[in-house]
A and B are shown apart, each in its own frame.
Chain A
Amino acid sequence: AQSVTQPDIHITVSEGASLELRCNYSYGATPYLFWYVQSPGQGLQLLLKYFSGDTLVQGIKGFEAEFKRSQSSFNLRKPSVHWSDAAEYFCAVGESLTMNRDDKIIFGKGTRLHILP
């Protein structure tokens, strides 16, 4: 069965510093991978997704993620964080029973990002 592991429950970085959030997945075939962000009281917003092709994926808000098949990882990065980036970040893998790649999404438990002024 597919699973997603986010090893860091909380991460604290200073404003302006670089950020890397870790994500490891377990999936038998080529995974469909996502990063979502959830601000307090808000729903989930898609930051970026990987389906195929270039393993370095650019997303919104200056985020990027790199798919590394050999390490079963899909880490999220940002070169310089802003105070508004404080939120909960979820890595997820899409499980498709058909050709539709978004049939069912399996989420990790999330990483809470704190920003120091």
Chain B
Amino acid sequence: DAGVTQSPTHLIKTRGQQVTLRCSPKSGHDTVSWYQQALGQGPQFIFQYYEEEERQRGNFPDRFSGHQFPNYSSELNVNALLLGDSALYLCASILLGTSGQETQYFGPGTRLLVL
């Protein structure tokens, strides 16, 4: 049973560019959340996708957008990259509505460096 997978593992971009990160949820999960973890900080919630729609969003600008596909996989897009976007981007998945019997599983992350 594959856990949460993310691609790519590492990425280098320059300021102003756009980037797309990908996530495949754990088998049986239908909800994907994205987190940003800056160096030396705890992860911060970006947004969550369920049924191909953004279900809730953290305090991130509109440059951060996402998408969920019918197979539950998800993409995180960041436009007009800034140096401050350099971080580890984590994807987490869960089966919604399990009332605490399940828990979120995190992927290994994508390390983004913006130069």
Contacts and interface: CB of A to CB of B under 8 A. Distances in A.
Given A100-B96, A104-B58, A109 B42 contact: yes
A97 interface: yes
Contacts of B94: 100, 102
Interface string B40-63: 111111001000000110100000
Contacts, number: 66
B18 to A, nearest CB: 24
Interface residues of A, number: 27
A110 B41 contact: yes
Given A4-B42, A105-B35, A110-B42, 17 more contacts: A43-B90, A43-B108, A43-B109, A45-B106, A46-B104, A97-B56, A102-B100, A103-B48, A103-B55, A104-B45, A104-B48, A105-B33, A105-B92, A106-B45, A109-B40, A109-B41, A110-B41
